[in-house]
Structure 1
């Protein structure tokens, strides 16, 4: 019988089943004899457990490196600190004409100083144009551009922790 249990699928399954029943019944009897209280009642669920079918596919879990790449540190810091949205009504202006940038802040206190920055030679440079956040969370910044060309600007808090998306203005 030993060779049947070792070399055949059904024999192995039968041997494993017999061994499992023996271990479970021996453990249960020993546990029951050791305690004077009866074992807890068996509860049944109203809904049957779902079974895995051929159409169900396991969902891959995201790896630690994938989640780090998906959320860079600068974006996480900007999201937690607050947000600034800015827009302008005039996308094209003549040089020497003032442009008004209006927007709204979230997560930034009223009275916070906002500054205007423009992109020059690939770097953001702070301009001397400032304003403060109103009690209702809005602001307006006016700037006169004297140089012709495209100006890409953004609004940031004075401590540069919160910044808006860039806005382009063509100066002709």
Structure 2
């Protein structure tokens, strides 16, 4: 006959109790996760930005100045001008930074004729669209 160590039944009992505790905690965690679903991540940008063109009907080669104000955007943040290219927004080579007083101003010249849909983007916030007709 083989001798069973004295601590083996105690280890089996402890392992069983630990397994039950882990299974119960998992069920409670699942129930609490169902009762309190995670909040969706904030999809709102950190700030707001406006835009205004000094001219909306221009000849090719004419400089157009875009001005606007920001709200909730740090001073010194980079402002970029974008135009709609098909279904995508493409960043143009016109940029500036937000100045004291939360304002900005940037210039660009259009070389091709057509209707340009433009907006500015700063710190993840985008402005409403402004249209410039280039003839």
TM above 0.5, one fold?
yes
When Rg is computed on C-alpha atoms for both structures, the one with the higher figure is 1
Larger helix percent = 1
- Normalising TM by the smaller chain, what interval? 0.5 to 0.7
Of structures 1 and 2, the one scoring higher in RCO (CA 8 A, sep 6+) is 2
Q: Could you list the runs of 5+ residues in structure 1 that have no partner in the other structure?
A: 1-72
Measure, in 2, the Cα distance between the counterparts of 1:97 and 1:168.
15
Give me the CA root mean square deviation.
1.5
Deviation at 1:89, TM superposition (A): 2.1
Q: With structure 2 as the length reference, what TM-score do the two structures score?
A: 0.67
Q: Could you list the runs of 5+ residues in structure 2 that have no partner in the other structure?
A: 1-40
Counterpart of 1:121 (choices 78, 81, 86) is: 86
- Matched length: 95
Q: With structure 1 as the length reference, what TM-score do the two structures score?
A: 0.53
Matched, 1:149 2:105: no
Deviation at 1:155, TM superposition (A): 0.4
Larger strand percent = 2
Q: How does 1:41-60 map to 2 (within 5 A)?
A: none
Determine helix, strand or coil for the equivalent of 1:134: coil
